[in-house]
Chains A and B, each alone.
Chain A
Amino acid sequence: MSPLLAFLAGDAQADRVVPPTGFTARLTLFASAAMAFLTVFALALSLATGRLAENWGSALAQSSTIRISAPEGQMEAQVLAVMDVLETTPGIADARVLTDDEQRALLEPWFGPDLPLDTLPVPRLIEVKETPDGYDAEGLRARLAGEAPGAVLDDHTRWREPLVRAAERLRLLGLVSILLIAATTAVMITLAAAAALAANAQVIRVLRLVGARDAYIARAFVRRYTLRAHSGASVGTALGMMAVWLLPEADPGGSFLTGLGFQGTAWLWPLLIPQLAALVAFAATHHAALTTLKERS
């Protein structure tokens, strides 16, 4: 049997040498459950913001707008010139001039439904779709300046980048939160294990008197705390996943807070939390036990 399987299978006799009760048992269970619950939310936040950054990045990165402001007599000529330039520009998948109705719809929120576009000097807008490889924005700007001086290319970089950066920063904060939660869990379980070792000084003395090796004594504590952390984290994870599941559905407008849940296979990620909690508990208790036993030798 491998050491891991032997550890998980345990030894009924060896498990009994440490008294089973005590406040440290409840503390470990509660701390693990609470931390796992928080980890589920941090993970959900991290995944959601990652998704958001990706959506914003890809959706905005593949569309641009060209705005043409020109005197009345030159407008149509400049529009045609811009369309000619776009047709011969590598990386442009499609380009079309927005109709008056589309422009009116865009301006409606500000100017109302009866906007007389004919009488106002409203710039013409050209929607540009790019290929996945994209185009050379600086090269296009230079060509537009030469062919249609009234045309301005807006590739959305100016306002897209801060949004994507903010979403990526949020994702990073989510990951940092998970690390902090893991570290806090380790600290709390270490303290609980150290308290249990101190409370069981007599047990340790007796075990040593009858020839128990440090590894044996440590294993009795480590296994117990690892299993407790796993149990607590399983409960916390289940509750966290249920709470995330009960969050409102993401709306089509992509509102940030309503898209916090997991999607598709991302629901599998939280299932790792109890295993990671057990791993953290194992490392923390193992270190605490061996350090304490060494100090008491």
Chain B
Amino acid sequence: MIEFEQVSYGYSGGPLLADVSLRLARGSFHFLTGPSGAGKTTLLKLCYGELIAQQGRVAIFDRDARTLSRDDVAMMRRRIGVVHQDQQFLDHLSLAENVALPLTVSGRSTTEADLGDLIRWVGLESQRESRPPELSGGERQRAALARAIIMSPDVILADEPTGNVDWEMSLRLLKLMVELNKMGKAIMVATHDLNLIRAAKSQVQARVLRISNHRVQLAGADL
């Protein structure tokens, strides 16, 4: 669904990613790890068209990202759920409205029951009408996950989804993503939390990619 062919990207300070090739297939589960600043977020942004490769080719749903118009990118993002590192929400809307936002902008509707089920699934039914600033870090992470999957996307990209939550909540989020993966979603989780990766070992068959020296390498055997 998403394929990198010898992709390079860098900022003014020099190359961050070089000669990266990888493929996210349907139903796959990848962890992306590496030290802070290694390029995990940049790689995810290349996956959902926020950034365009400076060299090489990124194909998103079989289309070269460079050839996508802004409308194409918008349409494509409806098939990719993103859990952002800093959980961006619209603070003037309730949690339920934020979760339903992808449906709102695409002109689709959902039943209150379905929306309620999803919010209950991430354990936020009592915060349904709360505004995002009133939520804790873990609640925001779960709300972001709910928003990322409400369109039933083909791919879910999560950038440090457990960065602001305690271990118990991290495991809960991991479990949610494993369940989504079992539904056939391709998942890539960028994290520097190796304990989380180890905890996933018993639940899912995942590949661990490590960014080192600007390159993406397979870190050991599949979990």
Contact = CB atoms under 8 A, between A and B. Distances in A.
A5 interface: no
Interface in B56-108: 70-71, 74-78, 82, 84, 88-90, 92-93, 97, 101-102, 104-106
A205 B50 CA distance: 11
B74 A17 contact: no
Range of interface residues on chain B?
Answer: 20 to 34
Contacts of A213: 70-71, 74-75, 105
Contacts of B76: 211
Residue from the set B84, B97, B104, B147 with the largest chain A CB neighbour count within 10 Å: B104
Contacts of A215: 71
B196 interface: no
B104 A206 contact: no
A214 B104 contact: no
A186 to B, nearest CB: 25
A212 B78 CA distance: 8
B88 A211 contact: no
Interface in A187-209: 202-203, 205-209
B151 interface: yes
A13 B104 contact: yes
B70 A211 contact: no
Contact of B77 (A14, A205, A210): A210
Contact of B101 (A205, A210, A297): A210
A158 interface: no
Main SS of the interface on chain B?
Answer: helix
A226 B90 CA distance: 23
A216 B108 CA distance: 13
Given A205-B88, A209-B77, A209-B82, A17 B70 contact: no
Contacts of B70: 213-214, 293-294, 297
Given A13-B104, A14-B104, A17-B105, A211 B93 contact: no
Contacts of B101: 17, 206-207, 210
A209 B71 contact: no
Contacts of A206: 88-90, 101
A19 interface: yes
Interface residues of A, number: 23
A224 to B, nearest CB: 13
A209 B90 CA distance: 12
Nearest to A19: B92
Residue from the set B74, B97, B102 with the largest chain A CB neighbour count within 10 Å: B74
Given A19-B92, A209-B77, A214 B71 contact: yes
Contacts of A293: 70
A215 B106 CA distance: 11
Contact of A211 (B74, B92, B97): B74
B63 to A, nearest CB: 15
B89 A208 contact: no
Contact of B104 (A17, A19, A203): A17
A210 B92 CA distance: 16
A209 B93 CA distance: 16
A297 B90 CA distance: 19
A210 to B, nearest CB: 4
A210 B90 CA distance: 11
Nearest to B77: A211
Given A14-B104, A17-B93, A211-B102, 5 more contacts: A14-B105, A17-B101, A207-B101, A209-B82, A297-B70
CB-based closest 4 A-B pairs: A212-B105, A211-B78, A211-B77, A210-B102
18 contacts: A13-B97, A13-B104, A14-B105, A16-B93, A17-B105, A206-B90, A206-B101, A208-B74, A209-B77, A209-B82, A210-B101, A211-B78, A211-B102, A211-B151, A212-B74, A212-B105, A213-B71, A215-B71
Interface of B: 70-71, 74-78, 82, 84, 88-90, 92-93, 97, 101-102, 104-106, 147, 151
